Amino acid sequence: MEAGQPAMKTLVLVRHAKSSWKDPELADRDRPLNPRGRRDAPEMGRRLAARGETPDRIVTSPAVRAATTATVIAEAVGYPEREIVEDERLYGAGSEEILEVIRGVEDRLDRVFLIGHNPGLTDLVNELSDEPIRNVPTCGVVKFRIAGESWSDVRRDTAMRVDFDYPKRRG
């Protein structure tokens, strides 16, 4: 960082790709991606890679659909799969729990991807943004710049939403 430049963090929130409801006997956390999810996750990974988005850390819910999304995106952006961190708190988390996970990230890391679930993800996006989003769709990606040197500083007045992308968005 150049002298005089304010410290910045980058937070990329990703909702897991579309999951399958094909097997009604399967526990919710064990649901895999459906064909659309298996198509959308690599596409969103390619888009992130094309923008030069390379994380210092990927944190994901341990649910199969989220962990699979994290793995596919990691591969696309050149992040080692073995370094993906699964955090149990993200499964079924509301916005406050997600924020708690973010605020616990080591400050030496400047760019973090977090893969989770709705409604908590959409709620958090709206808590951090001036412009509300009705719904972060499956495999939607919302990028924030965070002013500050510490992840514990993440809140509405330090966060600026700089991108919102999703599979059905063109151009």
Q: Which residue has the tokens 């956390």?
A: 29
Task: Between 76 and 169, name the one with better pLDDT.
Answer: 76
Task: Between 46 and 4, name the one with better pLDDT.
Answer: 46
Confidence of residue 1 (pLDDT cuts 50, 70, 90): very low
Q: What is the pLDDT of residue 107?
A: 97
β-pair partners for 145: 10, 160
Question: Alpha carbon of 106 to those of 26, 39, 72, 102: distances in Å?
Answer: 35, 32, 24, 9
Domain range list for the chain: 18-141
Say how many residues make up the chain: 171
User: Which CATH code for domain 18-141?
Assistant: 3.40.50.1240
What tokens does 35 get?
């064909």
Per-residue pLDDT tens over the stretch 142-163: 999 999 999 999 999 999 999 9
Per-residue pLDDT tens over the stretch 79-99: 999 999 999 999 999 999 999
With contact defined as beta carbons under 8 Å apart, do 98 and 121 qualify? yes
